[in-house]
Amino acid sequence: MPDLQLEASKMNTARVSSENIPAKDCQVVEGCVAQAGQRTLLRFPTYAANLGTGDLVMPPVPADGVSDATYEWSPCHMHHHVRGFANFELVDPVTGVVATARKQAFCLEDSQPVTIGGEGGKFTCGSQGISVGWVDVYADTLACEYIDVTDQPPGKYTLRVTLNPDHILPDSNPDNNVFTMPVMLPAPAP
């Protein structure tokens, strides 16, 4: 059985960036940002590992234009996204969750082994999944690999990433699917 976990040792970096996102960009169309224009984004990587005893084997992707219980068709990107792969939350220590986002996972694959010298990965975009001992990596430079924090005041927060939050994917231990780290949102530059 797969055991999905977030590799905390590789996710302990976050950065704030200011980016201009055009109105017709998929990041706007799919709701990754609240609106087009200059946005402040909290960017961070996601490392989703399978440390279980069995591979995570995804069902075949449906035909283009078709969504099902596992995959959602993106007419903007012209490919499928895996539903409910990961949620991102910005948590204020006093008021709780103040901003949310979701991972636009479109290809669960063996990106790199957990340990050097591990057996070769077998999953790709054509045959999706995550092998035992492998990690599916989403770099902090990817579209929608962030939380839009444009409207949040500067201060101390907690970034919380939850893998497989709706328990859609097989996972032997959903209790180890959450990563948190403190983050500081700086005051806007003058």
Over the stretch 14-68, which tens digit does the pLDDT of each residue have?
999 999 999 999 899 888 998 999 999 999 999 999 999 999 999 888 888 888 8
Can you tell me whether residue 87 is helix, strand or coil? strand
The domain locations on the chain are 4-166
- pLDDT, tens only, 115-139: 766 667 899 887 889 999 999 999 9
Distance from C-alpha of 70 to C-alpha of 171, rounded to nearest angstrom: 15
Amino acid occupying residue 30: E
Distance from C-alpha of 64 to C-alpha of 138, rounded to nearest angstrom: 23
Predicted confidence band at 13 (pLDDT cuts at 50, 70, 90)?
very high
Distance from C-alpha of 183 to C-alpha of 90, rounded to nearest angstrom: 9
pTM over 0.85: yes
